[in-house]
Structures are given as structure tokens and as C-alpha cells.
């Protein structure tokens, strides 16, 4: 399986996402913001960082960059797309997911190992989790406050489209403790915390037995691979 990772000017975690793809046995493919070419990939990751310096609004300029035309087309045709952090902001700015992300209510950049609950394990990126599974992956953002109008929130909650919810601490003022959401079809998923930073011993969140041994990000990537293999 070939999984594309889009690099925008200011992307930071594109290499980490590519590494996560390699670790689960898929082939990472570097995609470039200024191209109109998805290079025949089977899934796409929009990585974390500060695309275009987060000028205008976080993710706003990336959302209208050349490659997003093809990404939006592919997403609407059912291709799995995962937006992590800045990638989540790009997904809401390009209207592939509803709502918006604003400055953290604490007015500070937050970095912590964040516990979240997997609320929907039927998406392309969460099927290897158990329903309601509680995991810990790193969170690091300035603009992570998820908001939506009352009608959209009601629909997200009613239709099970809240994919992840913050546990213990709501780090950024997100409504209903929402950490991530999915579209109705389950192929487009966006979240603020970073699964790609919890895929390798020694480099993840603090584990109970060993330092930095958290691997809770792996199922995101194994999910999309196993669905592809079984398709």
C-alpha cells in the first residue's frame, strides 16, 4: 500500500508521518503542495506543522494550495485521508470536515502526553482500536480549540462522528472535549493530537514500564493498511 504525505511550506511532521507509514509496512510517498499529482497513492496524510506560517488562519492557505484540489476530489471519492493537527485545520478549512479550530482558550501553546478516548472505531483510520479504547498520544498545538455551531455539534454527536474525545484535561477549550472527528463515510478523519509521534519504542509518550515507550499511535496506521489489504 502506498500512502502519500503532503508537504506544505511550514509542515513539520511530514517526515515523522512518513516514518510511521514505513513502520507499519506501507510505502510512504512524498507529495508536494504545489503539484497537482497524487502519484497514484492509496491514502493521504496531511501532517502537522504551521503551513504557510498559519497566516490568514491556521490551515487556510494550505486548504487552497494546488494539491488540495486533487486531495478533495480523492477524499470525496472515498480515499482515506488523515489530517493530524495542522492537517486537521486544513481539513476543516477545505470543508472536508465541519466546524473550525481557534486559538487555545488558555492562550498558550500546549504540549503534553494526552489521554483520549476512541469514540468511533469504524473509520478507515481507527478500525484496529477497540470501541471506547483509551489511548495516550502527544498533543502540541496553539490553535486546537474545536468549535462548531449548535446544529453541527448535535449532528456530530447524534451520528457518532466524534472520533476522539479528550480525557482528564481539555487542553484547548474544545467544545464537548472533541479531539477529532470523522466524516459520515469514515474515510476522512482529523484530530489535533499526534499519532505519528507514538509509533516507536524510545520516541513515544511516557510508558508505564519504560521511558517513552508509548505506541498508541500505531493502530491509526495499521487500520488503514489492514482495510486496504482486506479490500
Partner 1 sequence: MPTIVVEVMPKAELLDPQGKATKGALSRLGKSEFTDVRLGKRFELTVEGPITDQVRADVAEIAEHVLSNSVIEDVVAIHYPEGEK
Which one of the spans 1-9, 57-65, 116-124, 212-220 is the region binding partner 1 (CB under 8 A)? 57-65
For partner 1, the closer CB: 104 or 127: 104
Shortest distance in whole angstroms from residue 100 CB to partner 1:
4
Cβ neighbours of 139 (radius 10 Å): 25
Cα–Cα dist 91/111, whole Å: 22
Interface of this chain with partner 1, residues 76 to 115, rule: CB under 8 A: 92-93, 98-100, 102-107
CB closer to partner 1 out of 23 and 142: 142
Provide the grid cell at 206: 511516557
Looking at beta carbons only, is 108 or 206 nearer to partner 1?
Answer: 108
Q: Which of 56, 131, 211, 229 binds partner 1 (CB under 8 A)?
A: 56
Annotation marks residue 196 as catalytic: yes
* Choice from 60, 72, 110, 167 touching partner 1 (CB under 8 A): 60
Instruction: Return d(Cα 56, Cα 188) in angstroms, integer.
Output: 24
Residue list 165-184, contact with partner 1 (CB under 8 A) = 173
72 belongs to the binding site for partner 1 (CB under 8 A): no
Q: How many CB atoms lie within 10 A of CB 52?
A: 21
| 98 vs 160 by CB, closer to partner 1 | 98
d(CA 41, CA 138): 27
Size of the site for partner 1 (CB under 8 A): 20
Strand ranges across the sheet with 178-182: 27-32, 2-7, 43-46, 81-84, 188-191, 178-182, 162-166, 110-118, 134-141
Phi/psi of residue 120, nearest 5 degrees:
-135, 110
Shortest distance (Å) from residue 191 CB to partner 1: 18
| Spatial separation of the C-alpha atoms in residues 22 and 16, rounded to whole Å | 10
- Residue tagged active-site, from 70, 93, 119, 194: 194
- The CA–CA distances, whole Å, from 94 to 18, 62, 67, 147 equal 23, 9, 12, 15
Of residues 85, 93, 119, 197, which has the active-site annotation? 85
Residues that bind partner 1 (CB under 8 A): 56-57, 60, 64, 92-93, 98-100, 102-107, 145, 147-149, 173
Which residues are known to be catalytic? 85, 194, 196
Amino acid at each position: 500500500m502506498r500512502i502519500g504525505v503532503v508537504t506544505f511550506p511550514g509542515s513539520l511532521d511530514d517526515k515523522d508521518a512518513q516514518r510511521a507509514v514505513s513502520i507499519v509496512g506501507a510505502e510512504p510517498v512524498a507529495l508536494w503542495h504545489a503539484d497537482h499529482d497524487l502519484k497514484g497513492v492509496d491514502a493521504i496524510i496531511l501532517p502537522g506543522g504551521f503551513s504557510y506560517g498559519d497566516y490568514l488562519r491556521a490551515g487556510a492557505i494550505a486548504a487552497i494550495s494546488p494539491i488540495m484540489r486533487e486531495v478533495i476530489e480523492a477524499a470525496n471519492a472515498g480515499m482515506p485521508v488523515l489530517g493530524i493537527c495542522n492537517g486537521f485545520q486544513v481539513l476543516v478549512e477545505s470543508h472536508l470536515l465541519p466546524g473550525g479550530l481557534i486559538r487555545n482558550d488558555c492562550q498558550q501553546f500546549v504540549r503534553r502526553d494526552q489521554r483520549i478516548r476512541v469514540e468511533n472505531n469504524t473509520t478507515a483510520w481507527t478500525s484496529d482500536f477497540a470501541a471506547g479504547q483509551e489511548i495516550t498520544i502527544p498533543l502540541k498545538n496553539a490553535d486546537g480549540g474545536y468549535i462548531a455551531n449548535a446544529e453541527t455539534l448535535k449532528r456530530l454527536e447524534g451520528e457518532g462522528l466524534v472520533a476522539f474525545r479528550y480525557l482528564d484535561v481539555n487542553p484547548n477549550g474544545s467544545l464537548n472535549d472533541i479531539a477529532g472527528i470523522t466524516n459520515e463515510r469514515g474515510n476522512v478523519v482529523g484530530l489535533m493530537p499526534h499519532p505519528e509521534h507514538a509509533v516507536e519504542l524510545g520516541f513515544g509518550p511516557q510508558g508505564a514500564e519504560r521511558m517513552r515507550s508509548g505506541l498508541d499511535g500505531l493502530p491509526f496506521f495499521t487500520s488503514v493498511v489492514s482495510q486496504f489489504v482486506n479490500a
